[in-house]
Chains A and B, each alone.
Chain A
Amino acid sequence: MECPKDLKYTESDEWVRVEGNIGTTGITDYAQDQLSDIVYVETSTPVGESLQKGEPHSAVESVKAAADVNMPISGVITEINENLADTPELVNTDPYGEAWMVKFEISDPSELDDLMDAAAYEKFSEEREH
């Protein structure tokens, strides 16, 4: 399981990358592996909408499950990855890169402190295996 060191993680298996006041988020390698082949990604939230931490911005469907993807921290959506509608398999092949789902303007940077770093998330995921 891959967990880049420069990202922060949620207990619901989202990651966030912070560049200035912009956050980028998607689902983790662990999540895509659990879901198996992703067949559909839909972002229902329009650009400009303000979402609270934990509110869903997208939904992913795999051949065996469906899941909401939630905001890791609160923010205002600035960009949506339109590529995923046609190539949802990117979530399986490149969850931290090409398969980012939304970018957003961070509302409250202090919320980042509640998230896990790579080491903590790795430990959290391993414990769930048992």
Chain B
Amino acid sequence: MTYIPHTEKDRKEMLAAVGVDSLDDLYDAIPENVRFPDLDLPEPISEMEVAQELQALSEANLEVFHTSCFLGAGAYNHFIPSVVDHTLRRNEFYTAYTPYQPEISQGTLQAIFEYQSLMIQLTGMDVSNASHYDGATALAEAVILALNHHRGKRNKIVISPAVHPHYRQVVRTYTQGMGLAITGDEKCETEPEDLMKMLDEDTALVAVQYPDFFGNITDLSALGEAAQASGALFCVVVNPLALGMLVPPGDFGADIVVGDGQPLGISLSYGGPTVGIFTTKDKYVRKMAGRLVGETVDSRGQRGYVLTLTPREQHIRRDRATSNICSNQGLLALASAVYLSVVGKQGLRKVAELCYHKAHYAAERIDALKGFTLWNKHPFFHEFVVKCPRPVAEINERLLEWDILGGYDLSQEYPDLKDHMLIAVTEVIAKEEIDDLVAALEEVSND
């Protein structure tokens, strides 16, 4: 493509149009001494030297390959088979934008179709969209679906405090100015039974997390029934990896199941990007946001894949569309699909069970330490809360000396949970690493 800069004549015309004489006049509002500061830059160096410098900088990072990572809180350190990355880097898939034209994109569309098929098997729902940006935006879209399902006649959202704090924040950002009452998450120890009491004729949606932010696995079937009785939709935020061993939410009445696909073959990458899972029942499909790929046959009777039910979307429905999402997180949805295909049904269960058993071993040992108490009252998956004898930030600082990344400091988001640490244990953690953590915690608490 030819780059055509503005000519002197163009510039003069534009300056005249905004009513100034010269380019400098445009910068009038900026004090002269900070307008063009001298940049204190080093001398130019060669590519080799740049590479060496960047290498040295990257080695200054503390990451999960050179530490024992017990930090989770929504993003987890799992093993990623190399075939996942290998598939992603194929240039047929590695594009900046998901191509949807069926004439040229059968591979991409088939991959999305397979991702969708895997997601409904995992969640026990009828239909999955082609994915959202992440778990938080998927939850926000669930709220939007529920509001549209009730056609603006219900304006209350009940949300558990054990839904990831950032997800709840995103829901509030998405819906600001819409006049909604978002409630239920005021106190950190709110059980599903407490949420049931908040359901009323104005409730559009009730949202819970499974396993919840504190790792708890609770029986949600009564809440599902109560939601149905009140007419509210029932949304469950899941960790998809946990569904390798847990009952899928489709079996206990969920209307919408969302979650973050990060545990399925996506690296931590300093917090993102990840992929947002969104699945629901057939009856809500026309209110669902995002792309949807369907299987069909072409004029010669051959199997093919196309975008389906597109009149939901804003390029057709225009201002009456219920969402402005017109894309998906294609590459990372592919990563999740490849991951699930590689580990398989039994493999996923095995990964989940490894996480579960290692986490329970860790919890038992830490609970036995003087000064540390296991906080969870319910069964938990691979994450649990420990009440510590000192502030979590102080403990984590000390753990770094042992090359251990400690757990999440819950007091950041839950003022009631001062000195409470959320610890995640995944399949990559060896027993010796757990024993080291226990030893380190013991020493830290005796300081």
Contact = CB atoms under 8 A, between A and B. Distances in A.
B251 to A, nearest CB: 27
Given A40-B286, A40-B311, A42-B286, A66 B151 contact: no
Interface string A61-77: 11011101000000000
Given A45-B151, A64-B316, A66-B312, 14 more contacts: A40-B286, A40-B311, A42-B286, A44-B151, A61-B286, A61-B311, A62-B311, A65-B311, A65-B316, A66-B311, A66-B316, A66-B317, A66-B320, A68-B320
Nearest to B313: A66
Contacts of A65: 311, 316
B384 to A, nearest CB: 44
Nearest to B318: A66
A74 to B, nearest CB: 17
A3 B151 CA distance: 32
A44 B312 CA distance: 15
Contacts of B311: 40, 61-62, 65-66
Interface in B280-307: 286
A120 B10 CA distance: 52
A44 B286 CA distance: 11
B281 to A, nearest CB: 15
A71 to B, nearest CB: 14
5 contacts: A61-B286, A64-B316, A65-B316, A66-B311, A68-B320
Contacts, number: 17
Interface residues of B, number: 7
Interface of B: 151, 286, 311-312, 316-317, 320
Nearest to A63: B311
A64 B316 CA distance: 7
A92 B123 CA distance: 38
Interface string A51-85: 00000000001101110100000000000000000
A44 to B, nearest CB: 6
Contacts of B320: 66, 68
Contacts of B151: 44-45
B319 to A, nearest CB: 11
A47 to B, nearest CB: 15
A40 B316 CA distance: 14
Interface in A78-102: none
A61 B311 CA distance: 6
A44 B149 CA distance: 8
Interface in A28-61: 40, 42, 44-45, 61
A47 B418 CA distance: 53
B262 to A, nearest CB: 34
A65 B317 CA distance: 7
- Interface centre among A42, A66, A68, by most chain B C-beta atoms within 10 angstroms, is A66
B250 to A, nearest CB: 23
Contacts of A66: 311-312, 316-317, 320
A66 B151 CA distance: 17
A62 B286 CA distance: 13
A58 B25 CA distance: 57
- Interface centre among B311, B312, B316, B320, by most chain A C-beta atoms within 10 angstroms, is B311
A42 B320 CA distance: 14
Contacts of A64: 316
Contacts of A40: 286, 311
Contacts of B317: 66
A66 B311 CA distance: 6
B307 to A, nearest CB: 13
Contacts of A44: 151
Contacts of B316: 64-66
Contacts of A45: 151
A42 B283 CA distance: 11
A45 B150 CA distance: 10
Contacts of A62: 311
Contacts of B286: 40, 42, 61
A42 B151 CA distance: 13
Nearest 7 pairs of A and B residues by beta carbon = A66-B311, A61-B311, A66-B317, A66-B316, A65-B316, A44-B151, A68-B320
B154 to A, nearest CB: 13
Nearest to A66: B311
- Interface centre among A45, A61, A65, by most chain B C-beta atoms within 10 angstroms, is A61
B146 to A, nearest CB: 14
A65 B321 CA distance: 12
A65 B151 CA distance: 21
A62 B311 CA distance: 8
A15 B86 CA distance: 59
A42 B282 CA distance: 14
B308 to A, nearest CB: 11
Nearest to B151: A44
A100 to B, nearest CB: 21
